[in-house]
Structure 1
């Protein structure tokens, strides 16, 4: 059972006017077997939290701690964080011209495990995983995300999640830009991952529609770089009915 623990995290970014604080003291613990949903209006710091956990160089942690099973995540390089068991599904997956999906996936798996997967079983695993998210195995020969639709990019993120099999998955608006069919397929992939023993999920979203497919254990409302409210799945229903106004008004 893995535990991702975030304590009093403060994060800034550089702007034309100097450093600007985005996260203003976030404390959050995700235990293995738990799914946490973070919801909030645009600009509230949700994606900043995701990228700070992953180690994006744009974001500067000014104070606070992030640990995974007691190990200091903030002292790790990006690749070390991945090997430790962290995974980030990006809101806007990037295209990588000249690198095939098959090479990308095998190189990533080799880096995570410290040894290359056996080619025969690996090809079978990749084909089966792509089939589960209704991607044509021919996509394995295409360049990473190049010419992919929004839904295909997000399905490819789920392929990575299933094959790399981290301890904790941070999913940054995995539902954005998806139609109903793609949303269901992506959600099924996330549910397959979290059904494994001890896996943690941090799901960042604007909307409650993905929470109809992926049931969170806890919901956290982000406003102005802080957690303004937290509760069970019923909190998402309240947000669907009433929006964020109650929380944004209180932060002004």
Structure 2
């Protein structure tokens, strides 16, 4: 069993108004096979948490630790984190002109595994994964995310997840911008990846609708850069009914 452990994580970012603290002492432990949903209002720092785990240079860690099976993640470069088994599905996937999906995926797989996959088996794997995600075969030859709709970009992120087979996946609002059909297809892909390899998942979302398809073991309420409450799936149901106002109000009072 692998363990991704975050302890007292504190992060700042530079703004026009100066240095701003975003994460204010985050504690979180995700084990292999567990699904953790992180929910909270806009601007609470959920995406900052995702990007800090992945190693985005925009964010400066000023305190705390992130370890993967005892290894210091913060000491790793972004590519080292990927090879260690960390994966980030971005809220806004970027376009990469001039790089086809096929070349991108095989290059990434080679870099992570340390050797190139067999052409025959790799072609079969890519085709099979695309079929399950209901992606047109022509997308394999198109440039990464270029001209893709929002839903197509999200499916492409899950295609990477299924093919690269990480140990832990951070899914940053993978449900945003998806209609009901696309949400179901993307969720099915996440569930396949989870079941195939005992994948640990950190699922960041505003809404509970994706939790109808991806069942969390733990739910965390994230407000003002830290965990405000933690519980089981029933906590998500309560948030659906009550929203986040009481957490924000309690923060304003304190």
TM-score computed with the length of structure 1 as normaliser: 0.99
C-alpha displacement of 1:197: 4.6
Determine the structure 2 residue equivalent to 1:72: 72
Q: Distance in 2 between matches of 1:193 and 1:116?
A: 21
Alpha-carbon distance between aligned partners in 2 of 1:69 and 1:164, rounded to the nearest angstrom: 19
**Alignment-derived partner of residue 23 in structure 2:** 23
Does structure 2 retain, via aligned residues, the 8 Å contact 1:2–1:198?
no
The alignment partner of 2:196 has SS state of coil
- CA deviation digits over 1:138-174, x for unaligned, max 9? 1000000011111110000010000000000000000
Looking at structure 1, the residues matched to 20 and 137 of structure 2 have their Cα atoms a distance apart, in angstroms, of 44
Residue 244 of structure 1 corresponds to 244
Q: Do structure 1's residue 14 and structure 2's residue 14 form an aligned pair?
A: yes
Q: Is the 8 A contact 1:151 1:182 kept in 2?
A: yes
**SS at 2:58's partner residue?**
coil
**1:218 aligned residue:** 218
Does residue 192 of the first structure (1) align with residue 198 of the second (2)? no
Quote the Cα distance in structure 1 between the aligned partners of 2:126 and 2:138: 11
Match of 2:173 in 1: 173
Distance 1:207 1:164 in 2: 27
Number of aligned residue pairs: give it.
252
How far apart, in 1, do the equivalents of 2:121 and 2:212 lie? 35
Q: What RMSD, in angstroms, separates the aligned Cα atoms of the two structures?
A: 0.7
Secondary structure at 1:195 match in 2: helix
TM superposition outliers: structure 1 runs of 4+ over 3 Å: none
Residue ranges of structure 2 left out of the alignment (5+ in a row): none
Q: Return the offset for 1:219.
A: 0.3
Three-state SS of the structure 1 residue aligned to 2:13 is strand
C-alpha separation between the residues in 2 aligned to 1:194 and 1:87?
13
Q: Cα distance, 1:129 vs. partner?
A: 0.5
Gaps of 5+ in 1: none
Equivalent in the alignment of 1:136? 136
Query: Could you tell me the TM-score, scaled by structure 2's length?
Result: 0.98
> What CA deviation, in whole Å up to 9, does each residue of 1:87-107 have, x standing for no partner?
000000000000000000000
Matched residue of 1:52: which SS? helix
C-alpha distance in 2, partners of 1:137/1:121?
A: 16
Provide the C-alpha distance between the structure 1 equivalents of 2:16 and 2:155, rounded to a whole number of angstroms. Answer: 36
Alignment of 1:105-144 (within 5 A): 105-144=105-144
Matches of 1:182 and 1:51 in 2, distance apart? 24
Partner of 2:149: 149
Deviations 1:39-87 (A, max 9, x none): 0000000000000000000000000000011110000000000000000
2: CA distance, partners of 1:137 / 1:220: 38
Counterpart of 1:196 in 2: which secondary structure?
Answer: helix
Cα deviations by residue, 1:172-217 (Å, 9 ceiling, x for unpaired): 0000000000000000011111113532000000000000000000
Residue 136 of structure 1: CA displacement?
1.1
User: Quick check: 1:6–1:28 contact (8 Å CA) kept in 2?
Assistant: yes
